[in-house]
């Protein structure tokens, strides 16, 4: 090693003062610097207001996306304290906003239960905002302070008077466009989250306004979780009324509602202090364990099963469940709070849910019998599907045996560098095979549109030749056989035509991935290739436009030109497809992710399910966003 590399001393140690560390590594605190992290900024502030609701001192929150791009969140809680801190000798409000790990949620006095536990939420938002203002309504006065990238630019001062009965906090911030790749908020994503919050906190009202789009919604649900599950299942045929209970052990409060429908999918949504734990955790594990045990016991006792045992997948087929916890000291995995880690919670939830469900089954034998019979039918279907699943298992991680004959595999064995392009049709498949880099790009052409798995049971879906070929090529298997270590390609890329048929094929494939191998989406392995709409030739040079707006800009820039419209990938020659869609240096790939499981499940159910009325409503509401392809 060189002397330069060996020279590591005190001068190499950099201390990031104040909130500099947040700006240096923002993804550590908000998950990403893309749209997900941008939305998380709002969630952090709203969660603080929800904590006031959990403390019983707030029942109103207003969220506004303003025309100038800023966001304002106002509540009628107690208002941040503004008196002088005994140690720091500054107003508490300033300390809360500008210092990490400063807040009232560490001693369980000001907040017995809260979602914002780490004391970093509001300060992270301040650090990642180019401008921010906080107003506090307290004791008949309005206190205010302004900040720039987390630093106060004036002192806490009184800007006016208010009614003495008025209390609360108002936060306005401009996300820093130097940090975020986009500062455009998605209305539907935010609306879904606020709807969830109000379902989980019966009686809380959230007014959500988007001044840019002229939209406004008022969320308020007196029925709480019962209304929540009815809303989730509104596009499905349900087997019974919601089963609801609320139990407490020590300081842990467990609220649970379940309802079965006639679909083949399971939908379990876990929340802790109203935080959506999209990766589950010990509370969800405890509930699953209890449900499997109780249904097995009942089915055996009533003779519905004959020397057989139901597995978890059997009892959760067609299940929608919401489990909401309130506990003083949740241990989340990471600042973004996507998974609960408290080991003691599994046993608590298991015990409470077992008792409550057993009592319900004894008191409601007709419903219990329906559920047990559905689970028994699922067991039979699982056995039928087992052979189909065996067909799509890989014999070895990288061997050629058992692979689909029409798969044009790549030569590299370095999985982290490899890509699988899924292409519809022999014509596009032939072009893709000619265009690809054989070293790291594999091509799997599909014959026509794959089966809509939303309307098919697992045995039928996995017996489909095209689906079996696809799962075999990917290598992970599905269900109990799923093993991420056997994934053969780091990137799985859907490459479809840029027309209506192509979009339908893309949706069918995404439905398959979401329902059968959701782990691939969660781990960031699924992508969609963006194909160009137009080729624009100026002299001997070609340009490509991926949107109508790009086409107009190029024509304005280049003057009179020759424009050709790509209807399908098969129309391109090898070099065109490589340059526009497959070359890592020039292509555009969209990574598929699930920001909100509730919203994702609803969208797939509406678009791909049996119910026609909700799909017609969806089309009516979103038709104005569509672009007519002439």
The residues that are catalytic are 424, 497, 499, 501
Q: Can you tell me the distance from the alpha carbon of 360 to that of 136, in angstroms, rounded to the nearest whole number? A: 47
Q: Can you tell me the distance from the alpha carbon of 443 to that of 578, in angstroms, rounded to the nearest whole number? A: 13
DSSP assignment string, 376-434: HHHHHHHHHHHHHHHHT--SSSS-STT--TT-B--S---GGG-EEEEEESHHHHHHHHH
Q: Which residue has the tokens 């947040």?
A: 22
* CA–centroid distance for 626 within its chain: 23
For 496-618, strand residue ranges (E) read 526-529, 534-538, 541-545, 562-565, 589-591
Q: How far is CA 107 from CA 58, 113, 168, in A?
A: 20, 11, 22
First to last CA, the chain: 64
**Are 420 and 442 contacting, i.e. CB atoms less than 8 angstroms apart?**
yes
Neighbours of 310 (CB within 10 A): 23
DSSP assignment string, 122-186: HHHHHHTEEEEEEEEEETTEEEEEEEETTEESS--EEEEE--TT--EEEEEEEE-TTT-S-----
Using DSSP, state whether 551 is helix, strand or coil.
helix
Q: Which residues contact 423 (CB under 8 A, 6 or more apart)?
A: 429, 432, 443, 444, 445, 446, 495, 496, 569
Q: How far is CA 407 from CA 57, 420, 423, 446, 477, in A?
A: 61, 9, 11, 10, 17
Q: What are phi and psi of 242, to 5 degrees?
A: -60, 140
Using DSSP, state whether 318 is helix, strand or coil.
coil
Q: How far is CA 376 from CA 299, 530, 626, in A?
A: 8, 44, 44
Q: Which residue has the tokens 């004791």?
A: 139
**Are 133 and 146 contacting, i.e. CB atoms less than 8 angstroms apart?**
yes
Using DSSP, state whether 83 is helix, strand or coil.
coil
**Are 133 and 144 contacting, i.e. CB atoms less than 8 angstroms apart?**
yes
Q: Can you tell me the distance from the alpha carbon of 162 to that of 177, in angstroms, rounded to the nearest whole number? A: 34
Q: Can you tell me the distance from the alpha carbon of 324 to that of 321, in angstroms, rounded to the nearest whole number? A: 10
Q: What are phi and psi of 542, to 5 degrees?
A: -105, 140
For 20-125, strand residue ranges (E) read 60-65, 71-75
Closest-CA residue to 587 (of 454, 451, 436, 422): 436
Q: What is the DSSP letter of 281?
A: B
Q: Which residues contact 208 (CB under 8 A, 6 or more apart)?
A: 62, 63, 64, 190, 191, 194, 216, 217, 218, 219
Q: Which residue has the tokens 């059968």?
A: 516
């Amino acid at each position: 090693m060189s002397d330069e590399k060996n020279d590591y001393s005190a001068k190499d140690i950099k201390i990031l003062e104040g909130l500099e560390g947040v700006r240096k590594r923002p993804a550590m605190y908000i998950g990403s610097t893309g749209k997900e992290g941008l939305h998380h900024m709002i969630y952090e502030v709203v969660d603080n207001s929800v904590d006031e609701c959990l403390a019983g001192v707030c029942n109103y929150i207003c969220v506004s996306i303003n025309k100038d791009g800023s966001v304002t969140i106002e509540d009628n809680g107690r208002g941040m304290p503004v008196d002088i801190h005994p140690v720091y000798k500054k107003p508490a409000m300033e300390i809360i906003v500008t210092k990490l790990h400063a807040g009232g949620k560490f001693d369980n006095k000001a907040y017995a239960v809260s979602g914002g536990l780490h004391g970093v939420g509001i300060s992270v938002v301040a650090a990642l905002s180019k401008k921010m203002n906080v107003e506090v309504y307290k004791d008949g006065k309005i206190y205010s302070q302004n900040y720039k990238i987390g630093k106060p630019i004036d002192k806490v001062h009184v800007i006016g008077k208010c009614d003495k009965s008025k209390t609360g906090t108002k936060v306005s911030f401009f996300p820093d466009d130097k940090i975020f790749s986009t500062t455009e908020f998605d209305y539907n994503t935010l609306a879904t989250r606020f709807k969830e919050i109000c379902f989980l906190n019966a009686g809380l009202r959230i007014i959500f306004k988007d001044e840019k789009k002229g939209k406004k919604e008022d969320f308020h649900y007196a029925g709480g979780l019962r209304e929540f599950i009815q809303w989730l299942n509104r596009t499905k045929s349900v087997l019974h009324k919601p089963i609801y209970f609320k139990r407490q052990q020590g300081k842990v409060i467990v609220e649970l509602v379940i309802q079965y429908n006639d679909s083949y999918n399971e939908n379990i949504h876990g929340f802790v202090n109203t935080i959506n734990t999209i990766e589950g955790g010990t509370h969800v594990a405890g509930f699953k364990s209890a449900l499997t045990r109780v249904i097995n016991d009942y089915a055996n006792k009533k003779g519905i099963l004959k020397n057989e045992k139901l597995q978890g997948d059997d009892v959760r087929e067609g299940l929608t469940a919401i489990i909401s916890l309130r506990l003083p000291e949740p241990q989340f995995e990471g600042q973004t709070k996507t998974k609960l880690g408290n080991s003691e919670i599994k046993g608590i939830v298991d015990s409470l849910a077992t008792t409550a469900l057993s009592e319900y089954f004894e008191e409601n034998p007709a419903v219990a019998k329906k559920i047990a019979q559905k689970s028994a039918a699922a067991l039979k279907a699982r056995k039928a599907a087992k052979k189909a699943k065996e067909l799509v298992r890989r014999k070895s991680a990288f061997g050629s045996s058992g692979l689909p004959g029409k798969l044009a595999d790549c030569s590299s064995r370095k999985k982290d560098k490899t890509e699988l392009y899924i292409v519809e049709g022999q014509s596009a498949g032939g072009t893709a095979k000619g265009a690809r880099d054989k070293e790291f790009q594999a091509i799997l052409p599909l014959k026509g549109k794959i089966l809509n798995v939303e309307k098919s049971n697992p045995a039928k879906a996995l017996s489909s030749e095209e689906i079996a070929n696809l799962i075999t090529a990917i290598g992970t298997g599905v269900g109990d056989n799923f093993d991420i270590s056997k994934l053969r390609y780091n990137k799985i890329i859907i490459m479809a035509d840029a027309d209506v048929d192509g979009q339908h094929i893309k949706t069918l494939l995404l439905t398959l991935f979401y329902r059968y191998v959701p782990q691939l989406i969660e781990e960031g392995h699924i992508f969609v290739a963006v194909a160009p709409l137009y080729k624009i030739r100026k002299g001997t040079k070609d340009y490509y436009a991926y949107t109508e707006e790009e086409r107009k800009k190029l024509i304005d820039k280049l003057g009179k030109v020759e424009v050709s419209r790509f209807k399908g990938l098969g129309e391109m020659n090898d070099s065109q497809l490589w340059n526009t869609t497959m070359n890592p240096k020039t292509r555009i790939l969209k990574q598929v992710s699930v920001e909100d499981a509730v919203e994702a499940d609803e969208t797939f159910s509406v678009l791909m399910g049996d119910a026609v009325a909700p799909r017609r409503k969806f089309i009516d509401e979103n038709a104005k966003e569509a672009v007519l392809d002439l």
